[in-house]
Amino acid sequence: MEVGICIAGGVNEFSHVDLSLLTEVGIGSLFVGCYENEMRWHAEEQAAFVRSAAAAGFEICVVPWGYGKVVDPDPAIESLYVDTNRGQLQIDSRGRRCAKACPNNPRFLEWFASNMRTTAWMLDAHGFLWDEPSFYFSRGTWACRCEYCKRLFYAAENYQMPHELNEHVRAFRRFSIVMFVLSAAAAVHSVDPRLYSLVLPSPTLDTSQDHKGTGDWSLLLDSPAVDGLALYVPWQERQADPAQAVRELHALGSRGQRNTNKPCHIWLPGSPRPQDRVTANLLAAHEAGVSRVVLTDYSTMFRAPSADRFVPLLRETISQVTQ
């Protein structure tokens, strides 16, 4: 089993990352957050960190965050594109604009593809992770009902898009997300065809809850644009047993393969606190047959007050699971 770690927090976090410590602990890959607004003003700092990490022997996967808020795990991440392009935002089932660009809007797609080509050219990475590409959904209100989505839906289903989130609308949203990922992957492949693309669906332990467009993992895995999945284990949010949650998530990912044999990476949240059970969860993932685990994130794992006592135990556990 390979073990990686996510570097979040933006360019200010880079000066705190001890690459030699990560090598000593047994971390082999870095998933580096790349924020839309920071790339406008701090692209060289981002590129310098990625170059130094790649030179140190780490596999680098870039994680674009905040771009039109179509790929963003945290709604608090700012997007200048959203602030300045109100006409290209999603329209929900009540007719309101959402703070999220529409992945079917051709102007947004052109802008996003251009940014990803630039990012792929600047950063010496091995691949990209598309983190929760999604449509808006909250408390039964869903999007998108913009003119582009309604036209595409009519062309696919031969009737006007309804106001209820029926199965035809769900299928349309799933297909739209797959096409968005295909466009994103094509953009980075135009710079370097060796760059891989992973998708992190909306966190869940039940794929039937298809509210944001990524509930059908088999559809994502079937896409030639997707080289694998990254599955976040929401055991703390769901108050589930973490070891059982890891096993269930790995089994769900395996069932979605349809003989594609693409990797499903498990993302484990944690910190040095005993209640987060990081080392026990690593062992559980190893026993379940998980090929790669990504710990999230560097700040909570290595900059916590008790990190000095935790790091030796983490090093020993990683040594056990990577042998």
Q: Give a yes or no: residue 195 inside a domain.
A: yes
Q: Please tell me the predicted confidence (pLDDT) of residue 127.
A: 97
User: Of 38, 58, 71, nearest to 199 (Cα)?
Assistant: 71
Q: Give a yes or no: residue 87 inside a domain.
A: no
The Cα angle at residue 85 between residues 152 and 87, in degrees rounded to 5: 45
Q: Give a yes or no: residue 43 inside a domain.
A: yes
Asked whether residue 49 carries a pLDDT value surpassing 90, the answer given is yes
- Domain of residue 274, CATH code: 3.20.20.330
Q: Give a yes or no: residue 8 inside a domain.
A: yes
Alpha carbons 145 and 304: distance in angstroms, whole number: 44
* pLDDT-based confidence at residue 233 (cuts at 50, 70, 90): confident
Residue 156, helix vs strand vs coil: helix
User: In terms of residue numbers, what domain contains 231?
Assistant: 2-74+104-136+167-322
Alpha carbons 69 and 83: distance in angstroms, whole number: 11
Q: Please tell me the predicted confidence (pLDDT) of residue 238.
A: 62
* pLDDT-based confidence at residue 274 (cuts at 50, 70, 90): confident
Q: Give a yes or no: residue 178 inside a domain.
A: yes
Q: Give a yes or no: residue 99 inside a domain.
A: no
Q: Give a yes or no: residue 97 inside a domain.
A: no
56-114 pLDDT, tens digit each: 999 999 999 999 999 977 778 999 999 999 999 999 999 999 999 999 999 999 999 99
Asked whether residue 239 carries a pLDDT value surpassing 80, the answer given is no
Q: Give a yes or no: residue 91 inside a domain.
A: no
pTM: 0.93
Asked whether residue 206 carries a pLDDT value surpassing 70, the answer given is no
When divided into structural domains, the chain yields a total of 1
* pLDDT-based confidence at residue 237 (cuts at 50, 70, 90): low
